[in-house]
């Protein structure tokens, strides 16, 4: 079992390192999901007897050792050594039950993880991200998702535009979120076939992605702040989609 990953150092040299998941909930969900093998867990002495770690090799380490291994002081006393994230087949997501979330070049792994947590909580069939313009499922994204990425199917695709263009063939329809344009999200009929497309932080949907969406929706703002952060907007739309609310017509 290989638990190393290849990356680039500051001078362009190839470096090797373990594939990690850190934080109490992310490590617990990694083990519970069983989608990735766990070589061992490094833990503080007070966390080593956690019942969720039963059956897993646990090595007791000092707090500074965990911070050095994880590259973060936010390890919460647990760091797991595992394998690369198992991305799903996008076709499997399209054939699944429930809506799908698509992130168009979201840059911050914390936002990616937070949206994955929302999609899992709302019962989505999965999440789709691009192979370029997205950080992918990193240890930071795992931590931000509280372990949801270990359960939620997540697919990486080459082109968001092509993916959205092909949705009608699978019986699904794309709803693009826009800060200023489109219908009030409460005015459409949400169905399990919906695919919610969210744009990058600040920039929103790219013009080509916006153009291929079947419907644009907005979340009306009543206060003085003009927009919601990405994961909050995702939560509003995700739970609207799974509640099936609205009085208008969808795609």
Residue 9 scores a pLDDT above 50: no
- pTM of the predicted structure, to 2 decimals: 0.87
CATH number of 90-243: 3.40.1280.10
Contact 200, 112 (CB under 8 A): no
C-alpha to C-alpha distances, 25 to 14, 83, 122, 127, nearest whole angstrom: 31, 18, 18, 20
Rounded distance, CA 181 to CA 190, Å?
18
Structure-model confidence comparison of residues 227 and 66, the more confident one: 66
Do 4-82 and 90-243 agree at the fold level?
Answer: no
Q: What is the pLDDT of residues 222-240, one digit of tens each?
A: 776 666 889 999 999 999 9
| Residue 219 pLDDT greater than 80, yes or no | yes
| Fold entry, domain 4-82 | 60s Ribosomal Protein L30; Chain: A; (3.30.1330)
> Token pair of 38, please?
């766990």
Q: What pLDDT shows up at residue 10? A: 34
Of 195, 244, 186, which is closest to residue 218 (Cα–Cα)? 186
Strands (E), 106-246: 126-130, 154-157, 173-177, 183-184, 194-199, 215-218
28 pLDDT more than 60: yes
Cβ atoms of residues 193 and 171 within 8 Å: yes
- Would strands 126-130 and 100-104 be described as parallel, antiparallel, or unpaired? parallel
β pairing state of 78-82 and 58-60: unpaired
Domain layout of the chain by residue ranges: 4-82, 90-243
- pLDDT band (50, 70, 90) for residue 244: low
């Amino acid at each position: 079992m290989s638990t190393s990953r290849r990356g680039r150092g500051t001078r362009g040299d190839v470096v090797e390192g373990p594939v990690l998941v850190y934080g109490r909930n992310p490590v617990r969900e990694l083990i519970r999901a069983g989608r990735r093998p766990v070589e061992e867990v490094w833990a503080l002495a007070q966390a080593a007897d956690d019942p969720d770690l039963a059956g897993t090799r646990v090595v007791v380490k000092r707090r500074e050792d965990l911070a050095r291994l994880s590259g973060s002081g936010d390890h919460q006393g647990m760091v797991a050594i595992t394998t690369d994230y198992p991305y799903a087949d996008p076709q499997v997501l399209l054939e699944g039950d429930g809506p799908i979330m698509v992130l168009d070049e979201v840059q911050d792994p914390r936002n990616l993880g937070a949206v994955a947590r929302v999609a899992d909580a709302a019962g989505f069939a999965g999440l789709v991200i691009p192979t370029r313009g997205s950080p992918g499922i990193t240890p930071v994204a795992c931590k931000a998702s509280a372990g949801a990425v270990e359960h939620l199917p997540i697919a990486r695709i080459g082109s968001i535009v092509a993916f959205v263009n092909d949705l009608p063939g699978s019986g699904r329809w794309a709803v693009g979120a826009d800060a200023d344009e489109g219908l009030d999200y409460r005015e459409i009929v949400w169905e399990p076939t919906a695919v919610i497309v969210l744009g990058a932080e600040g920039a929103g949907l790219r013009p080509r992605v916006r153009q291929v969406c079947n419907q644009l929706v907005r979340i009306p703002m009543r206060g003085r702040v003009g927009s919601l952060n990405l994961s909050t907007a995702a939560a509003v739309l995700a739970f609207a989609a799974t509640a099936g609310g609205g009085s208008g017509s969808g795609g």
